[in-house]
A and B are shown apart, each in its own frame.
Chain A
Amino acid sequence: MAKTVSAFAVGLLFGIGLLVSGMANPAKVLAFLDVTGRWDPSLAFVMAGAVAVSAAGYRVARRRGRPVLAPRLEIPTRRDLDPSLLVGAALFGVGWGLVGLCPGPALTILSVVPAPAATFVAAMAVGMLMFRLVPPATSNPKAGRGADA
């Protein structure tokens, strides 16, 4: 129960962070990706802030060893670079660049711009389910799928 409540609060915080940062606005994301146009560097600051705080949290979590509400930390351990990682990231990049939406912001703006956000989220869910049809040989048979996140 406590784990569910904390996950809800943390999800809320994540969404508020996306809203405050401007990352929830696809037009702003596209302006960041448009380096040869009217470039808006804001998102570099979003990433810098997010990575800095997340890195500090990771160090504290590793030092403590055991999370507050769970028996152990579930942290990905893979280090190899496989084709799935690169092909997946490239496909993701095309989709991200076409519309300016990635999974977190798409879910966060469902109530703000329901029609386009729901269309994108539904297609994204279908894409995720389609991945389950990919034979394990082209995926990550050893470490399990979705091992990094």
Chain B
Amino acid sequence: MDSFKPLSALLGGSLIGASAALLLLLNGRIAGISGILGGLLASPSRETGWRAAFLAGLVLAPLVYAGSGGSLPAVAVDASFPLLVVAGLLVGFGARLGAGCTSGHGVCGIGRGSRRSLIATGTFMAVAILTVLVTRHLLGA
């Protein structure tokens, strides 16, 4: 497990925030990943092009980052196949029902002082903390 790295966390977070700011300043759109992906999965529209391009940038980021000399951080996924499927279904469905995810509500929504986003973020953070408490400490998984 990585140790506590406040500086790279703050720097990386600022890059995420800069990305959200630039998408708003340039394209006038909110950088909510679940909204962008969910929109892309709907029928094609005038929004399809930029959504696909944004997600392509996201997917290619590790290659560009490593290619330009950055050392990729450790990425560890311990979850079993069924757990990945269940979690993926919940995240996809929940993000659409709740109209946003960590980026749309957490970064963009809180950034503009939205009450809905503040409450959504508080809710999913609290529930995620409880979920980890139950799975790691009460069930001992």
Contacts and interface: CB of A to CB of B under 8 A. Distances in A.
B38 A12 contact: no
Given A36-B137, A87-B97, A91-B93, A12 B32 contact: no
Interface residues of B, number: 117
A37 B74 CA distance: 21
Main secondary structure of the interface of A (DSSP, over half): helix
A34 B125 CA distance: 11
A22 B20 CA distance: 18
Interface centre among B1, B20, B42, B110 (most CB of A within 10 A): B20
B45 interface: no
B13 A49 contact: yes
Given A7-B54, A8-B56, A31-B1, A91 B21 contact: no
A55 B111 contact: yes
A51 to B, nearest CB: 5
B128 A33 contact: yes
Given A16-B15, A68-B25, A128-B92, A103 B9 contact: no
Given A14-B58, A131-B97, A95 B27 contact: no
B44 interface: no
A149 B30 contact: yes
Interface string B74-103: 111111010111111111111111111111
A107 B24 contact: no
A34 to B, nearest CB: 5
Interface in A2-52: 3-28, 30-31, 33-38, 40-43, 45-52
Contacts of B83: 98-99
Nearest to A78: B116
Nearest to B99: A148
Interface string A64-103: 1011111111111011110011111111111111111111
